[in-house]
Amino acid sequence: MKVTRNGYLVIAGWVALYATITVLYFQTQIQTDNGLVRLFALFGITSLLNASIMSAFTRQIYQSLGVAFLKIHHLFAIAGLVLVTLHPVSLAILYGWQVFIPDFSSWYRFWLLAGRPAFYIVYVGVLSVLLKRLLKKHWRILHALLYVALGFGVVHGILLGQSHANPVIDGIYVGLLALMVFGFVYKRYTARARKRSTPQG
């Protein structure tokens, strides 16, 4: 299948999204900058959010882009996983390995550093796919924890991330998070609707 007009619009939207984030990243004025550490986080969470959002529109992705949904989904997911891993690893090299330890000292500190538990939840979600034959139907429950991890990541970015000092960046990620939640609800609604419409017996 060839890329349709809608497919080109989707591709243009992705390019515009990453380009906007890049421009805002370099425009954000901060006192200290840790090189690409923040950009790893921004691009990583963006890629994982895109992978999650598109999972609600598998048929539309295939029809628009002419490529199997899983190929596109895995491309974003793998890129996101690599980048969100580089983010804390880079911070650990700069500041020490304590950046991997979740902080439960207070409610605010937990959410301020919510990226730490999110890191582990992401890997639980990813491993569930690799172990789905062993986990059987339960793998989907563990994989759905990725939605929780992404919510944690966005909150962490807004509260602590230096790039999120820019309200436009805040707006972008709140919007992507809202689209992810919509996709989650829409995916389950359509699945139930198909199940009800399927003749029984």
pLDDT tens digits, one per residue of 83-117: 999 999 999 999 999 999 999 999 999 999 999 99
Q: What is the mean pLDDT of residues 39-62?
A: 94
Look up the pTM and report it.
Answer: 0.90
Question: Please, what is the average pLDDT of the chain?
Answer: 90
Q: What is the mean pLDDT of residues 195-201?
A: 64
Tens digit of each residue's pLDDT (9 = 90 or more) over 55-70: 999 999 999 999 999 9
Res. 151: pLDDT tops 80: yes
For the chain, the domain total comes to 1
Res. 201: pLDDT tops 60: no
Res. 173: pLDDT tops 80: yes
pLDDT the model gives residue 27: 80
Choice between 138 and 175, residue whose per-residue pLDDT is larger: 175
Res. 10: pLDDT tops 70: yes
Choice between 116 and 198, residue whose per-residue pLDDT is larger: 116
Greatest alpha-carbon pair distance for the chain in Å reads: 67
Res. 158: pLDDT tops 80: yes
Contact 47, 176 (CB under 8 A): no
Among residues 36, 156, 38, which one has the least CA distance to residue 103?
156
Q: What is the mean pLDDT of residues 29-44?
A: 76
Contacts of 29 (CB under 8 A, 6+ apart): none
Q: How many CB atoms lie within 10 A of CB 41?
A: 25
Choice between 165 and 18, residue whose per-residue pLDDT is larger: 18
pLDDT the model gives residue 38: 87
pLDDT the model gives residue 154: 94
pLDDT band (50, 70, 90) for residue 198:
low
Count of alpha carbons within 13 angstroms of residue 113, beta-carbon side: 15
- Domain of residue 20, residue span: 5-197
pLDDT the model gives residue 199: 60
Res. 31: pLDDT tops 70: no
Choice between 161 and 22, residue whose per-residue pLDDT is larger: 22
